[in-house]
Every structure is written in structure tokens, then in C-alpha cells.
Amino acid sequence: MPLFPENALFMAPMVDLSHVAYQELVRSFSGCDILYSEMLNARIVPGENPGSSVYLKWTRLDDLIFQIAGNDLERMCGSAAKLNGFSPFGIDVNMGCWLKKVTCHGWGAGLMRDAVRAQAVLAGVRRVVTRPLSVKMRIGYGLDMQAMSDFASMLVECGVDFIVLHARTVEDGMSRRARWEYIAALKDQVSVPVVGNGDVKSARDAIDMFARTGCDGVMVGRQAVVQPWIFRDIKALLAGNEPPEPPPVMDVMLELHRLLSLHFAPDVALKRFKTAMAWLSQNLTFGHHLTKNVGREKSMEGAASCIQRAFGQGIS
């Protein structure tokens, strides 16, 4: 049986954004097949418990992949075994995070610089994970297609079920255009499904990525935070239909506000709402003013009133 549907759509892992409330918001529009958690530090997962932890919160597990970050074999295996025990859709090992504060520990893309350790970690994690296992990686250090393929083939030999490629090099960071030709090249090289990621900025971009790379799935990050309904629109295009009208932005903001209040303590909810507003307000012409004003609010109630006031005054 295939791991996931044809032309599968994935919501990317994003720190401070891929939480239960955003997941619920994205699911409410439908169209997204699999959602990733934000990266979970293998040093802290063993001490966290569902319910009390801000990180281990969910309403559904059948479409959720927990992403772990780290490079210590024992901690990675311990975290993977613990998360696997909750029976999520799957587990992912982060080999793509480019930030210095992550790679300096040898985590994230740091593992792409140390293939021996990456292999040991993945083989260990594979032994304890009974669910589908993915790795989210980058092209690598530099633009070497052969090195990328060799690294990915090593992951396949370790038993990874599919690979997500964020089509940038580590040096690229988040700059330049994503290099989709590397997604096509990886798809040609490995026997497992490949999910493409990077710079899908509209529903039509996702269709283009499928067509130009032959990838098995498309993962959307930033644009899915701005437009949590993008997956619905991509599915409409895949079915040969025009995407529906976008939902009213105020309703989307207030729904996220409600979901955050439902799942988090007020201080955490407010912090996360302010983070989200910087993205959701990109749907508005003068959205940065609204983000700034919400940023000054001291409570969730104040944040909601601020939004209602702005729309009442005609922001669009």
C-alpha cells in the first residue's frame, strides 16, 4: 500500500508555528494530507509529557509527523521511541536546519556534514521506529548533485521510508530561489518517495513543482502560514477545478486566536498569536500596522479587540 496519497500535500515543520492550533486551523480548510510538528529537541523530549508540555500537544495523530532534532544516538533513539509510542503517522529526523545555533551542535544540517554519524543516528532511530520514517534534508554543503544522491542513498539503505528535500544548500540559508532541479535529480536517483519543498508561494506553484520535478509530494511552509487554506486550493487545481474564494482574513485570525486560547495558557497563546500575526497579516495591504498594534497588546482579549477594531475601521 502506498505510504500516502498520490500528489500528497504536506505542511512543513516550523518552529513556533507548527503547533496544535495552526494544525487545527490548516485541517479546518482540508486538503493537507500530512502535518509536521516543529522540530523537537532530542535533549528535551524525554522529559516532556503530553498534556503539560507546550510541544507535545495534539488533537490528531493519524496525519501528524513528529520531527526530532539532535545528533546524540542515545537521545535520538530515546526520543524517537517515546514519540513512536504515541502512534503518530510518522517520525522525521531533521537534517536540514541551517541555523548556526543548531548546526554548531552537529544537529540539523550539521548531520549532512558528518555522514558517518548521520548513518549511525538514522540506523538507530530506524530500529526503534515502527511507523513511517522520513528525513528532511537540504541539497548539502555546496551544489554537488552526486554528494546529495550519495547521502540520500545512504538514508535509503538505513531504511528511511521517504525523503523531504528543501531544495537549497546549507549556505543558501533561506535566500535565493529554491533549486527545484535538485528535487527532480533526487527523484531520479532514489527508490523511495521524494517530497519537494521550497518556495511554493501559491497553489499554482505546487502544481508546477509536481510537473517540473516528478516529486511524490509537495511540502509548503511559509505560504501555508500566510494562507492556511492553500492546500484546499492546490487540491482544487489538481482536480482540474478553480480554487474557491479565499476566506475572510479576520475570521481566520480570530479562529486561530480561539484555537490558541483553547490549547495554551494565556501567556503562551499570546506569544504564539503575535508570531502568527506577522504571517497572516501579509494577506492585508497595510497588515504590518495591524501586526505592530497586536504586538503591543498585553492580553489575548486585547489582541482580539485590536483585530476587530482594525477591520471595523476598514483594513483590508
Ligand X SMILES: Cc1cc2nc3c(=O)[nH]c(=O)nc-3n(C[C@H](O)[C@H](O)[C@H](O)COP(=O)(O)O)c2cc1C
Q: Which is nearer to ligand X, 163 or 304 (CB)?
A: 163
Identify which of 194, 251, 197 has the alpha carbon closest to the alpha carbon of residue 14. Answer: 197
Cβ at position 12, least distance to ligand X in Å: 3
DSSP 85-96: TT--SEEEEEE-
Give the one residue of 15, 44, 104, 143 binding ligand X; rule: CB under 6 A.
Answer: 15
Cβ at position 296, least distance to ligand X in Å: 22
Distances in Å between the Cα of 195 and the Cα atoms of 7, 27, 187 are 9, 20, 9
Stretch of 142-150, 205-213, 221-229, 301-309 lying at the interface with ligand X (CB under 6 A): 221-229
Q: Which is nearer to ligand X, 213 or 223 (CB)?
A: 223
Q: Which is nearer to ligand X, 39 or 125 (CB)?
A: 39
Instruction: Report the alpha-carbon distance of residue 36 to residue 18 in Å, rounded.
Output: 7
Stretch of 14-22, 147-155, 236-244, 251-259 lying at the interface with ligand X (CB under 6 A): 14-22
Query: Quick one: how far is CA 28 from the chain centroid?
Result: 17
DSSP 125-147: HHHH--S-EEEEEEEESSS-HHH
Cβ at position 91, least distance to ligand X in Å: 13
Binders in 64-83 for ligand X, by CB under 6 A: 67
Instruction: Report the alpha-carbon distance of residue 80 to residue 60 in Å, rounded.
Output: 18
Query: 7: Cβ–Cβ under 8 A, 6 or more apart, which residues?
Result: 210, 216, 217, 218, 238
Q: Which is nearer to ligand X, 124 or 196 (CB)?
A: 196
3-state helix, strand, coil in the chain (%, to 5): 50, 15, 35
**Residue 96 binding ligand X, by CB under 6 A:** yes
**Residue 44 binding ligand X, by CB under 6 A:** no
What x/- string results for residues 126 through 165 when contact with ligand X is judged by CB under 6 A?
A: ----------x-----------------------------
**Residue 221 binding ligand X, by CB under 6 A:** yes
**Residue 307 binding ligand X, by CB under 6 A:** no
Give the one residue of 8, 12, 26, 42 binding ligand X; rule: CB under 6 A.
Answer: 12
Query: 301: Cβ–Cβ under 8 A, 6 or more apart, which residues?
Result: none
Query: 216: Cβ–Cβ under 8 A, 6 or more apart, which residues?
Result: 4, 6, 7, 8, 162, 187, 193, 194, 195
What x/- string results for residues 179 through 218 when contact with ligand X is judged by CB under 6 A?
A: ------------------xxxx------------------
> Would you tell me which residues interact with ligand X (CB under 6 A)?
12-15, 17, 38-39, 67, 94, 96-97, 136, 166, 197-200, 220-223
